[in-house]
Amino acid sequence: MRIQHQAKINVCLYVNGKREDGYHTIETIMQGIRLQDTLTIEESNENLLECTVQGVPLGEDNLIWKAYRALAKDFDLPPVHCVLEKNIPVAAGLGGGSANAAAMLTGLNELFSLGLDESELEAYGATLGADVPYFIRGGTVYATGIGTELHTIAPYQGKWIVLVNDGTAISSKEVYECGPTQTQSEITTLLKELEEGKTALSVHNDLYRPVLTLYPHIESIVNELKDTDADTVLLSGSGATVFALYENEEKARKAAQTLDYPFVYVTQTV
């Protein structure tokens, strides 16, 4: 079984506070994009995970295996052989690892006819990480709490985006520990702009300042993108990927041609 699963960007991210358990409460809008990994799952004699790129940890700490164990606690699952075709950059603010975990949950559910519905899969996903439930659902979603309380909103699809990543791997935990700003949310304005299909958006990311404290060179990527006639530029999540929105494909591809980074990708929202 092959499960294609997409990355996401955070169109905005506001930090509201910090809970006693250490998790921060947030408001964010997550948006799926046409950048995807593919996970192939088949029954096997032993558990084995392979990946098409170097540097991805394949041991028991991989979220794919954590997803397997989460279901194996409640269902009699046989061993599986998995192959991950990796295109989403690692530790990049695009949710690649969480998307992989969600793909494992949905794939096992279908392959072995477990009968779990979307809400039940999201509940399993929430035990693995705050972004995992989103990837069960996908699309355009307004998320609150620690990011697991999901509200599907009007789709914001077909918008042209350029993604830029310089290869820096960023730990979300480290960024949050650095101390995010807490800005008054303007998400109501943004929701209206998204509904109207605008590409010039009222965006903000409370993790941007701590990211710059830890990785000041990220600001140069932001500034370069702002100079490419982009309508909107923002760090996605905790980074290091920066995205820019353009009013049409021509502008997006022209901008991408001017950028010299290890990962420059032209794509669309879905």
Of 26, 72, 47, 21, nearest to 182 by C-alpha is: 26
On whether the CB atoms of residues 92 and 56 are closer than 8 A, the answer is: no
Is 76 designated active site? Answer: no
Of 232, 229, 269, nearest to 250 by C-alpha is: 229
Residue whose tokens read 């290890």: 262
On whether the CB atoms of residues 53 and 6 are closer than 8 A, the answer is: no
Which of the residues 37, 131, 166, 206 is marked catalytic?
Answer: 131
| Cβ-count burial 146-181 (b if 16+ within 10 Å, e if not) | bbbebeeeeebeebbbbbbbbebebebeebbeeebe
Is 8 designated active site? Answer: yes
Distance CA 32, CA 239 (A): 16
Backbone angles phi, psi at 152, to 5 degrees: -70, 135
Which of the residues 8, 159, 166, 251 is marked catalytic?
Answer: 8
Residue whose tokens read 């001017």: 258
DSSP assignment string, 52-75 = SSTT---STTSHHHHHHHHHHTTS
Distance CA 238, CA 15 (A): 12
Report which residue type is found at 84. L
- What residues are annotated to the active site? 8, 131
